Structure 1
Amino acid sequence: MPSSDQILEDRKVRPGTGSAARVLRVLHVGPLPPPVGGMATVIRGLQEHQPHQMRVLDTRKTTPEGRRLWRGIVAQLRLLLQLVSACCGWRPHIVHVHTCSAPTFWRSAVDVMVARLLGRRVVLHVHGARFHRFLAGLGRGAAFWARRTFAMAHATIVLGSDWREIIAPWCPPGRVHVVPNGVEVPEVPADRSAGKPLHLVCLANYEMRKGQGDLIRALAELGPETEVTLALAGAETEKGTKAQLARLAESLGVAERVTLADPVSGKDKDELLVAAHVFALASYDEGLPMAMLEAMANAMPVIVTRVGAIPEVITDREDGYLVECGDVKAIAAVIRELAASPSAVRRVGQAGHALAAREYSLARVVGDVESVYTSLWPPAAREVST
């Protein structure tokens, strides 16, 4: 079981951002990397760039697979005690709770309730590609408690306008805010137009809904005359999926052109992105994938499906390529086009980089989050707060 130092990670305000009396204290409740995942990456990005005093109550799983039930209960109770201790001792102005589908949402519901009972303002930040399915599948009693959870939060953050339409009916009026994910954007990304074969990369957990099988089928659709390779990397969150994909590649005769790697982060991920020409993600469910934004930030043209908030970001054939879920022939056609046109790889990649720098940089997203905080705790109130 982790120590309190492992659970509660502190990030002090950067010098020159204001006096202690005026600086907001924000407690984030959610996972830190590792694991590799969108929610953890978002929290780390905010932690490194927010101009606030910030602490993170790290909720990542620390007990082993196959644990006894009592160990999980003890771990959750310990996290809850850490939340109470932080709220009463450090006294954050805002508790920012990161959540997704069950069972995480129900644990988050307890966090929201406790923070409210202790007099804290609460932001509920919804991640997760299948949250709409989670809400749609709730029974009457569970739906009642979900609505109560959203009502207890002073503000709810979602990743895009479509998600706002889904979540708004569950929340009191005016409390849903759209804040997309954000990434670091290099000023001078690598040139993506040189080199053969065309190298595709997909960074996604090994799950059937992520559509890696459709990418492998698209390679087979192209035939050997189109020189293309595909690198897959991610955590196997659905057991057996990785082996199933390997068998699929073997059966379609493209195994030599497909690599299946474990999850990557840090320098390893940077190297994988630099080595590739094109990013592809054929998901059937998404929120706003961090991997797609990271690829755009690195001037890689992206081939992605029309799901979640992705169509709000990508304009087809301008700063990326949009295809329908499961349309293997359409995926293959885009790959064939890019393999034959290095100039298209460069042009669309650079347009995606410009879009990421303009709309999805961490600086921009941190500013959007700050606007939500300001609506709950204006600077004038901070001056007299303790």
Structure 2
Amino acid sequence: MNDIPLIVHLIYRLDFGGLETLMVERINRMPAGAYRHAIVCLTDYNPAFARKITRADVEVHALHKQPGQSPGTHAALWRLLRRLRPAVLHSYNLSAVEYGPAALLAGVPVRVNGAHGRDHGDPHGTNRKHNALRRLMVPFYDCCYANSAAMETWNRDVIRVPAHKSRMLANGIDAERFQPRVPGAAALPEGCPFGPGDFVIGTVGRVQAVKDHATLVDAFALLRTRRPDVALRLAIVGDGPLLDSLRSKVASLGLENVAWLPGARTDVAQILHSLHVFAMPSIAEGTPGSALEAMASGLPVVGTRVGGIPEVVDEGVTGTLVPASDPVALAAALETYVLAPELAARHGAAGRERVLRKYSMAAMVAAYHGMYDSLCERKIKTRGAVTSCAE
């Protein structure tokens, strides 16, 4: 039997997305001799994305959960955990929080839940039913961390996570992979319809309601009417349930020839090299990994003043903050960079320095590694002998 402790990562679906990307990065980078890893998807996984896992010993399991309560999924997870015998269950977000009791009954000694953002149908965390479920689950977890200070405060104040179970674990970015474009290097990724003289405003992220891409499209349309003298272009990169409707909105505004919505891509670092400004119009966020990638790539960020975005974007230094769901304010902020490329360059350079100083990949991996170590040391007396359950 392998004596390296196993961590089971429980996620709704393994697919292209910020949370999923950073989870895989941590798995790939954590020392192989410290922990083994397995990923359990409540629903299913995208094989193309799963190929981003570079460690050969990582198994991916799918429980094929159906919509609704699906009590059979709890039983299926219990059986799988009994077979895998992990030291840690690490569940992610509201969609997986309810499986803490199944892990406890399966004898998993350490149980962790991470708040990486709220449900897209409840971006501000006001849904009483959801919050009641979160509170109900707190006793079944040894740690309920958040990936932004704003989310940690909400966890403590609204969900009533006690101090000894609360942590803040910031996202990290691979600053080796995401770097500013070298002057003179080819900037346009494959399939990109834009030219070298275009000014490209872009964003990367899952196309769902909480990201509010519709406001970005409206702001872009406003900006084009205000600056007809500039070859403005828009890139929205990512897949999701609202991609088709967003493409329809683009068409209805007559923007098909100046907007590019390619869906999910694996060449995000190169795509960022084709942008001049990065926009983040979300109505709720944790620590925005895509904004950090843009900053590491030397781009100024125009983001909304919600969740963890103000923690990342230093207003007037690395970018600009605007109210959520306000296309007029968003258009005005974007116009500032259109008219002042030297300001864009200065804010982009400051953004990269901020990422290197505060949001390194090594620091993120070390923080998660430290969390697992401290919880296992506290809960596991000797290998195979466990302390009592939920506190």
Letter of the structure 2 residue corresponding to residue 196 of structure 1: G
Q: 2:167 aligns with which of 177, 182, 192?
A: 177
Q: Where do residues 99-248 of structure 1 align in structure 2 (5 Å cutoff)? A: 99-100=93-94, 104-105=95-96, 108-110=97-99, 112-117=100-105, 118-130=107-119, 136-139=126-129, 145-169=133-157, 170-186=160-176, 189-191=179-181, 196-222=197-223, 223=225, 224-238=228-242, 240-248=244-252
**Preserved CA contact (<8 Å) 2:93 2:118:** no
What letter is aligned with 1:325? A
Report matched runs for 1:268-287 at 5 Å. 268-287=267-286
Question: Which residue of 2 is the match for residue 98 of structure 1?
Answer: 92
Secondary structure of the 1:136 match is coil
The one-letter code sitting in structure 2 at the alignment partner of 1:96 is H
Provide closer, same or farther for how the CA distance between residues 184 and 68 of structure 1 changes in structure 2, counting only shifts above 3 A.
closer
The residue type paired with residue 383 of structure 2 is S
- Indicate whether 1:61 and 2:43 are aligned: yes
Task: State TM-score, norm by structure 2.
Answer: 0.77
User: Which digits, 9 at most, give the CA deviation of each residue in 1:287-334, with x for residues without a partner?
Assistant: 222211211121221111111111111111201221111232332222
Amino acid in structure 1 at the alignment position of 2:220? L
What residue identity is the alignment partner of 2:207?
Y
**Distance apart, 1:210 and its partner CA:** 2.1
Q: Is the 8 A contact 2:214 2:246 kept in 1?
A: no
- Using the TM superposition, name which of 362-371 and 210-219 deviates more: 210-219
Letter in 2 for 1:247: A
> How many Å apart are 1:124 and its aligned residue?
1.0
* Aligned-residue CA RMSD (Å): 3.3
Unaligned runs of 5+ in 2: 47-63, 185-195, 385-391
Structure 1 position 359, deviation (Å)? 1.5
Counterpart secondary structure, 2:202: strand
Q: Does structure 2 conserve the Cα–Cα contact (< 8 Å) formed by 1:59 and 1:79?
A: no
Partners in 1 of 2:65 and 2:367 — Cα distance? 40
CA contact (8 A) 1:300 1:345 kept: yes
CA distance in 2, matches of 1:192, 1:219: 27
* Equivalent-residue separation in structure 2 for 1:123 and 1:319 (angstroms): 33
- Give the alignment of 1:301-380 within 5 angstroms: 301-378=300-377
Between the two proteins, the alignment pairs up a number of residues equal to 346
- Correspondence 1:47 to 2:45: no
Q: What is the identity, as a one-letter code, of the residue corresponding to 1:225?
A: D
For 2:67 and 2:220, the matched residues in 1 are separated by 44
The whole-number CA distance in structure 2 between the counterparts of 1:73 and 1:152 is: 18
Distance apart, 1:179 and its partner CA: 0.6
- Say whether the 8 Å CA contact 2:13–2:45 is kept in structure 1: no
TM-score (normalizing by structure 1): 0.78
1:30 aligns with 2:20: no
Counterpart-to-counterpart distance in 2, 1:358 and 1:228: 33
Letter of the 1:343 counterpart: E
Q: Please say if residues 305 and 324 of structure 2, whose CA atoms lie closer than 8 Å, have aligned partners that are also in contact.
A: yes
Residue 377 of structure 1 and its aligned partner are, at CA, apart by: 2.8
Residue 28 of structure 1 contacts residue 54 of structure 1 at CA under 8 Å; is this kept in 2? no
Matching residue's letter, 1:85: R
Aligned pair in 2 of structure 1 residues 82, 380: CA closer, same or farther (>3 Å)?
A: closer
Aligned counterpart for 1:81 among listed residues 79, 82, 88 = 79
Partner residue in 2 for 1:385? 383
1:294 aligns with 2:330: no
8 Å contact kept, 2:292–2:355: yes
Measured after TM superposition, the shift of residue 258 of structure 1 is 1.2
Report which of the two has the higher share of helix.
1
The SS at the match of 1:337 is: helix
